[in-house]
């Protein structure tokens, strides 16, 4: 009878092996997923910081572009004014009698 009890316990032990393998696989999978989640969270933080830096750079470039447009408009206005003054001077010079 002692041998039968030992055989039953051994069979019970062998029947637990698949459950133990499954449990260890689940723990390993959870650990792997947890590590991936942590890495993904870190990547998201880094990308968020990168996006914020790029947004700042875009804003700075837009400000520079606005200043350049204003400078260009001012230069065009100045050139138009100089052209008008030049025409007025040329008209005055053409109206004066020549001295020979």
Q: What is the 3-state secondary structure (H, E, C) of the chain?
A: CHHHHHHHHHHHHHHHHHHHHHHHHHHHHHHHHHHHHHHHHHHHHHHHHHHHHHHHHHHHHHHHHHHHHHHHHHHHHHHHHHHHHHHHHHHHHHHCCCCC
Using pLDDT thresholds of 50, 70 and 90, give the confidence band for residue 99: low
Give the largest Cα separation in the chain, rounded.
149
Average pLDDT of the chain is 86
pTM: 0.53
pLDDT at 98 over 70: no
């Amino acid at each position: 009878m002692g041998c039968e009890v030992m055989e039953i316990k051994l069979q019970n032990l062998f029947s637990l092996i698949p459950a133990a393998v499954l449990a260890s696989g689940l723990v390993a999978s959870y650990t792997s997923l947890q590590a991936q989640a942590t890495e993904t969270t870190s990547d998201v933080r880094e990308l968020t910081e990168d996006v914020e830096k790029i947004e700042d750079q875009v804003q700075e470039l837009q400000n520079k572009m606005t200043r350049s447009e204003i400078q260009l408009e001012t230069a065009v206005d100045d050139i138009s004014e100089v052209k008008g003054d030049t025409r007025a001077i040329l008209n005055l010079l053409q109206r004066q009698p020549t001295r020979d």
